[in-house]
Structure 1
Amino acid sequence: MIDKTTVDRIIDAANIVEVVGEFVSLKKRGVNYLGCCPFHNEKTPSFTVSGAKGIFKCFGCGKAGNAVTFVMEHEKLEYVDALRFLAKKYGIEIKERELSQQEVQQNNDRESMMVLSAFAQKYFTDTLFNHVDGKTIGMSYFRERGFRDDIIKKFQLGYCLDTRSAFSQYAGKQGYKKDFLIKTGLSVEHNEALFDRFHGRVMFPIHSISGRVIGFGGRTLKTDKKVAKYLNSPESEIYHKSFTLYGIFFAKKSITQENRCYLVEGYTDVLSMHQAGIENVVASSGTSLTTEQIRLIKRFTTNVTVLYDGDAAGIKASLRGIDMILEEGLNVKVVLLPDGEDPDSFAKSHSVTELKQYIADNEADFISFKTKLLLKDADNDPIKRAGLITDVMHSISVIPDTIIRSVYIRECSKMFEVAEETLIQEMSSLRSKKIGAAVTQNTTILQQSKPELHTPAIPSFVNNVFCEEQEKEIIYFLLKYANVKLFTYTDDDGYEHEINVGQYIISEIANDELEFLNLEYRQIFDDFAELIANNQEPNITHFIHHENLKISELVINLQSEEYVLSNIWKKFGQSESEGIEFLSEAVPKAITSYKAKVIALAIKNLMEELKNITEENFEEMTRRITALNMVRTEISKQLDRPVLC
């Protein structure tokens, strides 16, 4: 990875007019530059480059971005390679940082460890196929497990001789340094002598996403229970187990093609699935699933299916890892294999057609699976039942997509026989904790200092209402004016406080536990909330160069196009040119307008539901409509307009 300081230098140096000008003939047009888009065929130029903003935008095909994303798109490069392209153009040396002599040596050491690991893999594989012990002991194990030669060769499996130091001695004779043998974990030093860490074990090389060997897993063939069944390489400069998934190099193409990743537990599970003809499979290799591993999968698909054997204790232990997958926005399904089966044994005893059919017939969404699993334990115990409801609501609360959360809550309401409103309140409470510090602090300040700016609260039962135009306007104010002072006030102790636009918007939206349904708008809002909660100042550059390219493009579009504010501002004869005076009116009214739209749509939805409502729910439904009408009246007063029926 290129360190942030170097990335910032590259971005600062990259003049977008110069970068684009290498590939597109540009002509100055006012303050901007115009040319024919390189991404689609056009005769009339619609491709605009803004040197001042550092962005490009094609008004023909819609592509937009910065200097880095232009190079990525035009040259078909990954992000880091695009940075290297620009660094070379502007003579910036990539050193991960301004490296010290020690750090330079560390990088050299890392490459030496990679070379040694590749050498070790070839040695172990050669031993498996050609050494008498490798063939009679190691190969016999793989044969007994039913693995074909093509799978053994594909995954570069091997065998480490059971002679304590055969590999270490051979590597030393080939010129490999003792220091690197120890650092990679291939050898262990004792009384100044080197011994093979994996002696007497069959070997499973662990590959990086680019296919380089970075570590090993070794399985003992002994029955001694005092000896660990599996032994992995220790953490090193090249191997970090929390960032690694076994089989990802061999699976990534298939994952992309199938748009799904199967997640299993062990090495042999992966091998057997490949042998059965299913290649879009990876393993966490017995370690607890990490956020980094999940994001590795997310680079290729948003759909994950977890394959479980029938071990109930093991399933419950892994539930937290599934919550982490949900939190990253992936769609999770679960397949429970028959009793006594695991992915390894089941794949071996079934054809690829049978395997795929079983998965299709038995796939269940994770929330339903978890709910049914925990309900079995709860029986009729009300305390246990309450605990499992909270547990399931926690899983639902981490899901980023509002619509998906709403669907799950409706289903769980039926399964638990608990009012949907109660579950919504529980989930909202859990979600609000994410940005609770910023919300609580800012809301208290606003209520104490400028109560007239505090917009009407939305009832907690309102959810899943889509108001994209109003969401966009709020995001526009947030991006453009987040750090602009909105007002100041003096507290009871005589201290003066300054409240900016960003703090005000986050407080007003989050305090009502409202969420934008547009995922990009929501991500921008959440990023702002996190930055403010950590006392950091949000910067538009952060979003222009956001790691989520959709957000980068959205922000650039808002910057490059002339955004037209709602007509409500014209009513007051105000414009953005009036600066702080305009903002003190416009920002609260933008939020109030958003809430007005939410309320109107919520009432409309309830009126539709009322047509088919049962008698027992009629009273509750009318109560909600009455509550919403009261809020709508209050909002209309703030907007200086009559209630529209």
Structure 2
Amino acid sequence: MIDQHTVDRIIAAADIVEVVKEYVTLRRSGTNYLGLCPFHNEKTPSFSVSQSKGIFKCFGCGKGGNVVNFIMEHERLNYVEALKFLAKKYNIEVEEKEVTPEELQKRNERESLMVINSYAQRYFTDMLHKHSDGKTIAMAYFRERGLKDHIIEKFQLGYCLDQRDAFTQSALRDGYNLDYLVKTGLTIRREDGTIFDRFAGRVMFPIHSISGRVIGFGGRTLKTDKKVAKYLNSPESEVYHKSEILYGIFHAKKAITQENKCFLVEGYTDVISLHQAGIENVVASSGTSLTQDQIKLIKRFTPNVTVLYDGDAAGIKASLRGIDMILEEGLNVKVVLMPEGEDPDSFARTHSASEVLEYIKENETDFIKFKTRLLLDDSKNDPIKQAGLITDIVRSISAIPEQVTRAVYIKECSRLLDIGEEVLYSEVGKIRRKRMEQLLQRERNQPVKEHETPKIPSYVKGIICEEQEREIVKYLLTYGNQVLFTHVDEETEEEITITVAQYIIEEILNDDLEFQNLTYKKLFDEYIRLMEIHSEVDNRHFINHMDPEVSQLAVDLLTEKYVLSRIWEKNNAEVAEAPNFLEDAIPKAIQVYKSKVLKMAINNLNEELQNLKPDQVEETNHILFKLRELYALINNMSKDLDRVVL
């Protein structure tokens, strides 16, 4: 458990804009910041971050919270883990005892796999620097690739000993669970029970999540045997999904945002060598085909992608589908073909950063020119192949979502291929219509799912005044410190001010009312406690509350747009701006709430009355007396609300 003082230090140090900017490209919009939501796919920014309030809110998917909630949601961590994550970022020491093997087993599977991957990274790094084989064999390979110590350390490179199960036995001795070792893919267990290391005899490239945690590994063999796979990756696991991550994204995200461009390469060493040359806005698909999730990951940081291809064009055609996928996501794509016989790794090792960037600047071209030149070499004077080339390029253009961008590329394509723009427009239109028809057909064939609603806790089921409770808590949180009324005390002649919070709390407590929604009640009771200590209550206390329900409620109430209560709409009331608005709205909200409570009590009494027998005269009279009293109260309130109760 982290003590409250440390929690407060972490929250005070964590700038929400600074933290979110590592995951989302934000632009200032008034006093807030806007960006594309990282929690759902969107094209128009609806993700808002308030630096002054320390909160985020997506008006598209509804997710919101403080800086801790953001890390919890994005990294799938619990509250304590998110605090530790932020503490590490801001160099705040958090004291905690060493995790024992028994405690490790009790952790959830995901965290256990993370812990084992972290242990493995440290083990492989130790073997590289401390074991004789690591220092002579593995380090010789890295030196041959021209890698320097600071880069080896930065990417946490390592070595797995060329022994059957050296790593696995070391992990078991240190108390790690064999089942979890197998689930990470670090250990392979045969049906006969024998175990061995997956990466034995390989130099190791840890794969980091966007937050910097090790989620998997890539291993390169140092053997020349062609039967042995050159590269081997961790298998899919609870923490590693290769289609969702890009190698180097953790080290590149800041530079991508600053440069507003991402270089996309193929392999681990391409990324590492470019970093060593001083070019850090680079990531790799790690030899796998590019996926939509990987493209969306890039899109969060920049709309501009430049794909760096090896000088050998033989394998490029097979990877052109990746460019079409990038276009479908609305990104701007350029392509660079490295000099013949070179790849980004070898070119970066023999050239300075300025020379590499100069080459890219001079040779990067839009995908239309690149694809046309590449495919024209095959078609030559063959009309059938040329028709196929045109169809291929038109298919790529049709994938672009923005109409203006499509028009620009159609004009360029018309010039390069000497074909009329109207023909290209027609073909693009056909492909887009066909794609839309297929999409609609899929949607029609989708089984209709039942509407899923969140499980309502038993303590709020059947309560009819929850809407009014929410409205009152919203006023309390939003306007609590504002002055509602001012009057002069007749005896002392002193001017006395009544704040919104004082008025609401006094009205609720005087009638011994109690909120039925537990979260609203928690916030209301906490507000009273804070008012007893401070003259003004800071909303950040609720935004950063340790109870996630209270924190989430505070964020929702402070970010949702104000909607007129139905009582105002019924009477066609004109609502002035605050503070005049509050003088009418606050008392009316309290009256509506109280009338709801009275109506609920009246309904209950009427049900009791109907269940009484004719001979229960005394009980009947008692209920009738209560009903008469309640009807009188509710009619008085109705007059104040300008309503007529029949």
TM-score by length of 1: 0.55
Tell me, yes or no, if the aligned pair for 2:368 and 2:412 is still in contact at 8 Å. no
Partner residue, 1:337: 338
SS in 2 for 1:318: helix
- Partner amino acid, structure 2, of 1:117: N
- Partner amino acid, structure 1, of 2:436: I
Partner residue, 1:419: 420
Tell me by how many angstroms 1:401 deviates: 1.5
Distance in 2, matches of 1:136 and 1:320, equals 42
Instruction: Decide whether aligned partners of structure 1 residues 312 and 87 sit closer, same or farther in structure 2, where only a CA change above 3 A counts.
Output: closer
Matched, 1:114 2:114: yes
Tell me, yes or no, if the aligned pair for 1:127 and 1:158 is still in contact at 8 Å. yes
Matched, 1:391 2:421: no
Tell me by how many angstroms 1:84 deviates: 5.2
- Partner amino acid, structure 2, of 1:251: A
Distance in 1, matches of 2:346 and 2:185, equals 31
Tell me by how many angstroms 1:193 deviates: 2.4
Distance in 2, matches of 1:253 and 1:279, equals 9
Tell me, yes or no, if the aligned pair for 2:57 and 2:65 is still in contact at 8 Å. no
- Partner amino acid, structure 1, of 2:165: S
Distance in 2, matches of 1:64 and 1:279, equals 27
Partner residue, 1:178: 178
Distance in 2, matches of 1:231 and 1:64, equals 39
Tell me, yes or no, if the aligned pair for 1:147 and 1:275 is still in contact at 8 Å. yes
Tell me by how many angstroms 1:426 deviates: 0.3
Tell me by how many angstroms 1:417 deviates: 1.8
RMSD of aligned residue pairs (Cα, Å): 3.4
Tell me by how many angstroms 1:431 deviates: 0.7
TM-score by length of 2: 0.55
In the TM superposition, what whole-angstrom CA distance separates every residue of 1:552-589 from its partner, at most 9, and x where no partner exists?
xxxx99x99xxxxxxxxxxxxxxxxxxxxxxxxxxxxx
Matched, 1:403 2:407: no
Matched, 1:75 2:67: no
Tell me by how many angstroms 1:313 deviates: 2.1
Within a 5 Å distance, the mapping from 1:1-20 to structure 2 comes to: none
In the TM superposition, what whole-angstrom CA distance separates every residue of 1:99-146 from its partner, at most 9, and x where no partner exists?
xxxxxx998111100000000000000110111111011111101110
Instruction: Decide whether aligned partners of structure 1 residues 170 and 108 sit closer, same or farther in structure 2, where only a CA change above 3 A counts.
Output: same
Tell me by how many angstroms 1:82 deviates: 5.4
Partner residue, 1:133: 133
Tell me by how many angstroms 1:78 deviates: 7.5
Partner residue, 1:357: 358
Tell me by how many angstroms 1:74 deviates: 3.8
Tell me by how many angstroms 1:437 deviates: 5.2
Tell me, yes or no, if the aligned pair for 1:326 and 1:399 is still in contact at 8 Å. yes
In the TM superposition, what whole-angstrom CA distance separates every residue of 1:172-197 from its partner, at most 9, and x where no partner exists?
00000010010000001133122110
Tell me, yes or no, if the aligned pair for 1:371 and 1:392 is still in contact at 8 Å. yes
Tell me by how many angstroms 1:310 deviates: 1.9
Tell me by how many angstroms 1:412 deviates: 1.3
In the TM superposition, what whole-angstrom CA distance separates every residue of 1:387-439 from its partner, at most 9, and x where no partner exists?
11000000000011111111111121122222111111000000112222587
Tell me by how many angstroms 1:77 deviates: 3.9
* Identity rate, percent: 62
Tell me, yes or no, if the aligned pair for 1:264 and 1:307 is still in contact at 8 Å. yes
SS in 2 for 1:301: coil
Distance in 1, matches of 2:52 and 2:319, equals 39
Within a 5 Å distance, the mapping from 1:81-480 to structure 2 comes to: 83=64, 108-190=108-190, 191-436=192-437
SS in 2 for 1:288: coil
Tell me by how many angstroms 1:298 deviates: 0.3
Within a 5 Å distance, the mapping from 1:486-497 to structure 2 comes to: none
Structure of higher CA gyration radius: 2
Distance in 2, matches of 1:407 and 1:534, equals 36
Distance in 2, matches of 1:210 and 1:358, equals 32
Within a 5 Å distance, the mapping from 1:567-578 to structure 2 comes to: none
Tell me by how many angstroms 1:223 deviates: 0.4
- Partner amino acid, structure 1, of 2:265: V
Distance in 1, matches of 2:275 and 2:62, equals 31
Distance in 2, matches of 1:73 and 1:532, equals 46
Distance in 1, matches of 2:293 and 2:106, equals 23
Instruction: Decide whether aligned partners of structure 1 residues 87 and 342 sit closer, same or farther in structure 2, where only a CA change above 3 A counts.
Output: closer
Instruction: Decide whether aligned partners of structure 1 residues 419 and 342 sit closer, same or farther in structure 2, where only a CA change above 3 A counts.
Output: same
- Partner amino acid, structure 1, of 2:200: H
SS in 2 for 1:424: helix
Instruction: Decide whether aligned partners of structure 1 residues 217 and 329 sit closer, same or farther in structure 2, where only a CA change above 3 A counts.
Output: same
Distance in 1, matches of 2:205 and 2:186, equals 13
- Partner amino acid, structure 2, of 1:125: T
Instruction: Decide whether aligned partners of structure 1 residues 533 and 420 sit closer, same or farther in structure 2, where only a CA change above 3 A counts.
Output: farther
Distance in 2, matches of 1:302 and 1:125, equals 35
Partner residue, 2:612: none
- Partner amino acid, structure 2, of 1:329: G
Tell me, yes or no, if the aligned pair for 2:261 and 2:281 is still in contact at 8 Å. yes
- Partner amino acid, structure 2, of 1:281: V
- Partner amino acid, structure 2, of 1:183: K
Tell me by how many angstroms 1:314 deviates: 1.0
Tell me, yes or no, if the aligned pair for 1:72 and 1:82 is still in contact at 8 Å. no
Distance in 2, matches of 1:310 and 1:244, equals 26
- Partner amino acid, structure 1, of 2:116: L
Instruction: Decide whether aligned partners of structure 1 residues 315 and 70 sit closer, same or farther in structure 2, where only a CA change above 3 A counts.
Output: closer
Tell me, yes or no, if the aligned pair for 2:134 and 2:159 is still in contact at 8 Å. yes
Tell me, yes or no, if the aligned pair for 2:114 and 2:213 is still in contact at 8 Å. yes
Tell me, yes or no, if the aligned pair for 1:378 and 1:385 is still in contact at 8 Å. yes
Tell me, yes or no, if the aligned pair for 1:183 and 1:236 is still in contact at 8 Å. yes
Tell me, yes or no, if the aligned pair for 2:159 and 2:204 is still in contact at 8 Å. yes
- Partner amino acid, structure 1, of 2:177: K
Distance in 1, matches of 2:370 and 2:108, equals 49
Equivalent pairs, count: 383
Instruction: Decide whether aligned partners of structure 1 residues 437 and 151 sit closer, same or farther in structure 2, where only a CA change above 3 A counts.
Output: closer
Tell me by how many angstroms 1:86 deviates: 12
List alignment gaps of at least 5 residues for structure 1: 1-37, 42-62, 97-104, 442-529, 542-555, 561-645
- Partner amino acid, structure 2, of 1:318: S
- Partner amino acid, structure 2, of 1:280: N
Tell me, yes or no, if the aligned pair for 1:367 and 1:392 is still in contact at 8 Å. yes
Tell me, yes or no, if the aligned pair for 1:72 and 1:78 is still in contact at 8 Å. no
Tell me, yes or no, if the aligned pair for 1:208 and 1:244 is still in contact at 8 Å. yes
Distance in 1, matches of 2:57 and 2:284, equals 25
Distance in 1, matches of 2:292 and 2:181, equals 30
Instruction: Decide whether aligned partners of structure 1 residues 345 and 86 sit closer, same or farther in structure 2, where only a CA change above 3 A counts.
Output: closer
Instruction: Decide whether aligned partners of structure 1 residues 425 and 107 sit closer, same or farther in structure 2, where only a CA change above 3 A counts.
Output: farther
Partner residue, 2:568: none
Range 342-351 or range 410-419, more displaced: 410-419
List alignment gaps of at least 5 residues for structure 2: 1-28, 33-43, 78-104, 454-559, 565-646
Instruction: Decide whether aligned partners of structure 1 residues 238 and 225 sit closer, same or farther in structure 2, where only a CA change above 3 A counts.
Output: same
SS in 2 for 1:335: strand
Tell me by how many angstroms 1:250 deviates: 0.2
Tell me, yes or no, if the aligned pair for 1:435 and 1:533 is still in contact at 8 Å. no
Distance in 2, matches of 1:352 and 1:86, equals 36
Tell me, yes or no, if the aligned pair for 2:128 and 2:159 is still in contact at 8 Å. yes
Instruction: Decide whether aligned partners of structure 1 residues 383 and 130 sit closer, same or farther in structure 2, where only a CA change above 3 A counts.
Output: same
- Partner amino acid, structure 2, of 1:233: S
Distance in 2, matches of 1:122 and 1:78, equals 38
Distance in 1, matches of 2:53 and 2:267, equals 40
Instruction: Decide whether aligned partners of structure 1 residues 431 and 230 sit closer, same or farther in structure 2, where only a CA change above 3 A counts.
Output: same
Partner residue, 2:517: none
